Amino acid sequence: MIAVQALRKSFGEVLAVRGVSFDAADGRITGLLGPNGAGKSTTLRMLYTVLRPDAGDAFVDGVSVVTAPLEVRRSIGVLSHSAGVYPHLTARENILYFGELHGLDRSVRERRADELIELLEMQDFATRRAKGYSQGQRLKTALARALVHEPRNVLLDEPTNGLDVMAVRNLRGLLRKLRERGHCIVFSSHVMQEVAALCDEIVVIARGEVVASGTLEALRARTGQEGLEDAFVSLIGSDAGLE
């Protein structure tokens, strides 16, 4: 469960996030939708404690990202925008390394690695070095690595970028599976279809602010637009940076 309260962040002169608030409940998929440069990534990076907010706070299972970032990191799994893997390690070793960094005992992390390799169907490349992996294989590795410690909350920044259709379908399936198990899932995207197909709750962000939030139906009702695209465009005010 994640509660975001009036987060602000600027980089030098640029005010990237100006007071973003929303809630993401357990057992639901919450999508941050907005054009490129709207402040989605910056918001997520504050949630996963890589950036420190200038003002405001966010609570992950009731723990503050500002005052207890190390504790927050124990209960989140993160797929960051540039989910790089270690090229000289195999997928399995990549997963095990993160398990160890999370403080899991050897037997636990080995069991988790095997489970995730099966869950994400990584068997045919899991023991090969990551150098030369396809985009989809790299993403699976990064995802498995993010889930090794069974985090209650999963944060994903543009997870479908650069994936082919099959990989996107697999990812959706996995996120739904995690939702069924009661995880809190937050992911960002600039692809409207993506968000509409997957999310229970949509937070529309533009120019560093939340311009609307709610279920897809609620957003349609609010804008009076039946078409998905028209609804979002009317909320954001332009269609620049959306797909």
Partner 1 sequence: MSQQLGRWRGIFTVFKKEFFENLRDRRTLLSALLIGPVFGPLLFAGLTQFSVKQSDAASDKPVAVAISHPERAPNLVDWLGARGIEMTPIALDDRAARDAVFKREHKIIVAIPADFGARLAGTQPAPILVYSDGSRAFEARAVARVKSLVMQYGQQVAQLRLLARGVDPLVGVPLAVQDIDVSTPTTRSVLLLSMLSYIVLLSMLVGGLYLAIDATAGERERGSLEPLLTTPVPRANLIYGKILASAAYMLLSLILTVTAFAIAVRFIGLERFGMSANLGPTAAAAMIACCAPIALLGAAFLTIIAAFAKSYREAQSYLSFVIAVPTLPLVFAGMLGLVATTALMFVPFLSQHLLITSILRAEPIATVQLLASVLSTLGFGVVLAWIAGRLYNREGLLG
Alpha-helical runs (H) found in 28-164: 40-47, 69-74, 91-101, 106-119, 135-147
Cβ-based neighbour number of residue 164 at 10 Å: 11
Contacts of 221 by beta carbon, 8 Å cutoff, 6+ apart: none
Is residue 104 at the binding interface for partner 1, with CB under 8 A as the rule? Answer: yes
Contact between 139 and partner 1 (CB under 8 A)? no
Calpha distance 241→232 (Å, rounded): 12
Closest to 76 in 3D by CA, of 16, 168, 146, 134: 146
Integer Cα distance of 118 and 51 in angstroms = 33
Residue 116 in the binding site for partner 1 (CB under 8 A)? no
Is residue 74 a contact residue for partner 1 (CB under 8 A)?
yes
Q: Of residues 28, 40, 73, 179, which one binds partner 1 by CB under 8 A?
A: 73
How many of the chain's residues bind partner 1 (CB under 8 A)?
34
The two tokens of residue 112 are 């988790």
Between 41 and 213, CB nearer to partner 1: 41
Residue 59 C-beta: closest distance to partner 1, Å: 17
- The reply on whether position 85 binds partner 1 by CB under 8 A is yes
**Applying CB under 8 A, does 185 fall inside the site for partner 1?**
no
- Shortest distance in whole angstroms from residue 70 CB to partner 1: 5
Q: Helix 91-101 and helix 106-119: axis angle, to 10°?
A: 130
Q: 78 or 167, CB closer to partner 1?
A: 78
Which residues of this chain interact with partner 1, rule CB under 8 A? 45, 48-52, 70-71, 73-74, 76, 78-89, 97-98, 100-104, 129, 142, 145-146
